Amino acid sequence: MAVTMRDIAQALGVSVVTVSKVMRDHADIGTHTRNRVLAKAKELNYRPNLTARSLVTGESRQVGVIVPTLLHPFFADVLEALSSTMKKSGYAVMISSSMEDPVIEEAAIEQLLGHRMDGLIIASCSTSPAKFQQLNEQDIPFVLIDRFFPGFRTNYVGVDDRVAGKMATEHLIAMGCKRIAHIRGLEFTTGVGRFEGYKQALKQHGIRFNPDLVSPYMTADGLDWQQSSIAMDNLLAGKPPDGVFCYNDPMAIAAIDVVLQAGLHIPRDIAFIGCDNLHYGASLKAPLSSMDHHSSEIGVRAAKMLLRLLKDKTSTAKRRVVLKPSLVIRESSQRRASKNKQPSHN
């Protein structure tokens, strides 16, 4: 079995308590004893049993993070930023993927909590806030990111999806598009928000909303781009649009492929804009305009918010950080000279 504090204590003829105190840099141990313990610990390759420790202290100095997928660069960005922020404060981050499945998500929450994470950060793919309501009642510190539940008060960090949808659509309008289609995402807050922004923009600019130009919501089977291709096929089958706002960049890329395949020109025939501004966006056949969602800032803000919760367990007030997305214009939408062209990478 693994070496324990007792092994060290016995080898040295001191008590376990002494060893424990040394391991945690406790003040009241003499230099001599301390050094002996340290030496022995190294010699025996001692590794503190953190589970035992957390059992008695009641905290693990670990936080759990659950995202719907690792494959989407947006979440990868968030996670990297989040991890490094947490690490700076001495917390380890345990990452788990729910694979876009609410059942797995709930299982992951239980797993993580069963292992006594001090707090959770979750980009939920669940359709109801029930689980999070429950977590609230149990006073478990957590913050939601990216997606949220309308009407459910909770700690949250994300961007304003409605604004993202509105800005994107308005950009297409500014570029002279008259017949603007929207390929929708999942029927969660993000997808719904962006869609509403789209409608709102049309309305404010006196363009009649045409349901034929909007794809159905996606199903969560991880085949975004495929569904997007089909949606684009359908759009081309009728009277084609002259501008398309896609739920996210991967879907935009898939749709663009279809359009290019059909021999049409981007942006002349159809202008495109996506969402999330992922890397390589500039290197695509049709360098993709997009809404930047400040992924790493989301990670940092979420981490800091959770750290605050962990520090101040008493406060029950819910905080809400909503970032404003920013427009990144590239060639895929640029039908007129624009004043604010962006540099390529990132």
Partner DNA sequence: GACTGTCGCGCAAGCATTTTCGTTGAGATA
Partner DNA sequence: TATCTCAACGAAAATGCTTGCGCGACAGTC
Contacting residues toward DNA, per CB under 7 A: 1-2, 4-6, 13-18, 20-21, 23-24, 28-34, 46-49, 52-53, 55-57
- Residue 174: contacted member of a copy of itself, DNA, none (CB under 5 to 8 Å, by partner type): none
CA–CA separation, 249 vs 198, rounded Å? Answer: 16
> Which residues have a Cβ under 8 Å from the Cβ of 148 and sit 6 or more positions away?
154, 156, 158, 189
Pairing between β-strand 156-159 and β-strand 180-183 as defined by DSSP bridges: unpaired
- List b or e across 257-267, with b for residues whose CB sees 16 or more CB atoms inside 10 angstroms: bbbeeeeeebb
- Residue 254: contacted member of DNA, a copy of itself, none (CB under 5 to 8 Å, by partner type): a copy of itself
Nearest approach in angstroms of CB 320 to a copy of itself is: 26
- Residue 18: contacted member of DNA, a copy of itself, none (CB under 5 to 8 Å, by partner type): DNA
- Residue 20: contacted member of a copy of itself, DNA, none (CB under 5 to 8 Å, by partner type): DNA
Residues 330, 200, 126, 153, CA torsion sign? positive
Instruction: Kindly tell me which of 96 and 189 has the beta carbon lying closer to a copy of itself.
Output: 96
Instruction: Kindly tell me which of 72 and 162 has the beta carbon lying closer to a copy of itself.
Output: 72
Nearest approach in angstroms of CB 35 to DNA is: 10
CA–CA separation, 35 vs 37, rounded Å? Answer: 5
Nearest approach in angstroms of CB 7 to DNA is: 8
Nearest approach in angstroms of CB 178 to a copy of itself is: 27
- Residue 221: contacted member of DNA, a copy of itself, none (CB under 5 to 8 Å, by partner type): none
- Residue 311: contacted member of DNA, a copy of itself, none (CB under 5 to 8 Å, by partner type): none
Task: Considering only the C-alpha atoms of the chain, give the largest distance between any 2 of them, rounded to a whole number of Å.
Answer: 87
Instruction: Kindly tell me which of 49 and 128 has the beta carbon lying closer to a copy of itself.
Output: 49
Nearest approach in angstroms of CB 217 to a copy of itself is: 22
Q: Is the backbone peptide bond immediately before 267 cis, with ω within 30 degrees of 0?
A: yes
Interaction site with a copy of itself (CB under 8 A): 1-2, 45, 47-52, 54-55, 58, 60, 62, 69-71, 73, 76-77, 79-80, 83-84, 87, 92-97, 99, 104, 108, 110-111, 113-116, 134, 137-138, 225, 250, 253-254, 256-257, 279-280, 282-285, 287, 344-345
- DSSP, residue by residue, 105-162: HHHHHHHHHHTT-SEEEE----S-SHHHHHHHHTT--EEEES---TT----EEEE-HH
CA–CA separation, 112 vs 171, rounded Å? Answer: 42
Nearest approach in angstroms of CB 173 to a copy of itself is: 26
The SS3 assignment for 327 reads: strand
